[in-house]
Amino acid sequence: MQLVRAGHLKKYLQVAEISLTNRVVYLADHFASSIFLLLILFIFSQLWRTVLGAGGTLAGLDSTGMLWYMVFTEVIVISTPAYHRLVSDEVKSGDIAYKLNRPYSYTLYYLAAHCGEFAIRFVTNLAIGAVFAYLTMGPLQVAWAQLGWVIISFSLAMVLTFLMNFSLALLAFWFEDNRPFFWIQSKLVFIFGGMFVPVEAYPAGLRIVSYLLPMRYGVSAPARLMVDFDYAFLWQVLLGQFIWATILSLITAAMFQKGVRRVHVNGG
């Protein structure tokens, strides 16, 4: 992975901006695809009201907190763009060879594109989910003074999801069909990412496993931080996110270097 010099940062910001603008053009289409988000939130608003009632809690969250938690986990997952499919296709078809000699880092180009699209999707999906949760369950008690920390955690989660997907996409260098890896990852995100319930509600064994995997730091942890801010939890989350971002960056860089050596261009 090439290091980003200050002067080079601008071009990656422009890539992110283009990616974001492209998405804005199809905003109406994007809102239409949010129907599933509303459907699942509607079902869970009724579920949590029935299960937790007026005073009940699960993993320390009441029914309002549980629905808001789900708003954030769902929004993170459905806002994650599918650039990994494009990367997989480019690796399999050999088109990656034509991208390698361009004046930018292949990995950072896709990271910038990922962040740009994630940002606009996140804002629009959150707007829809938040309005629904507000109307059905009431407001979320936001720790406004600590919001900066929460945004940092969400930003790190965005980078983590990119690194997880990108490294799996690079497996296309070695495997004809890498789709099963994405399928397994999506199931791991569902369980160890705590999509429906915070992982703190799991039995001890599963909880510990989720603490050790990156999925929790990409989905459940930032969502939990948003609905139930706590400094001790914040440091734990940021440390986990930082460690996993470092590990996955190193893995991705090593895979990319090894993989690129395998590229053969037929016919120039």
Partner 1 sequence: MLTEAKRVTKFVLQYFSANLQSAMEYRGAFLSQIIFMFVNNIMLLFFWWVLFSKIESLNGWSFQHIMRLYAIASGAYAVKAILFGGSFSLSSTIAEGGLDFYLALPKPVLLHVLVSRSFASAWGDLVFGLAIFLLTVSPSIGMLLAFVILILAGGLVMTSFAVIAHSLSFWVGYGARLADELTEALLTFSLYPEGIFSAVTRWVLYTLIPAGFVSYLPVRIMDEFSWPYVGLLGFFVLGIVLVARFIFYRGLKRYESGNLVVTNAAG
Only one residue has tokens 């991208």, namely 99
Least distance in Å: CB of 94 to partner 1? 24
Between 32 and 145, CB nearer to partner 1: 32
Least distance in Å: CB of 96 to partner 1? 26
Between 38 and 254, CB nearer to partner 1: 38
Using CB under 8 A as the criterion, which residues of the chain lie in contact with partner 1 when the complex forms? 32, 35-36, 39-40, 43, 46-47, 50-51, 58, 180, 183, 187, 190-191, 196-197, 201-203
Least distance in Å: CB of 267 to partner 1? 30
Least distance in Å: CB of 196 to partner 1? 5
> CB-based contacts of 122: which residues, under 8 Å, 6+ apart?
75, 76, 79, 154, 158
- Cβ–Cβ contacts within 10 Å for residue 99, how many? 13
> CB-based contacts of 3: which residues, under 8 Å, 6+ apart?
none
- Among candidate residues 85, 226, 65, the one with its CA nearest the CA of residue 157: 226
Between 66 and 169, CB nearer to partner 1: 66
Distances (CA, A) of 203 to 83, 119, 198, 206, 221: 34, 34, 11, 6, 17
Between 192 and 229, CB nearer to partner 1: 192
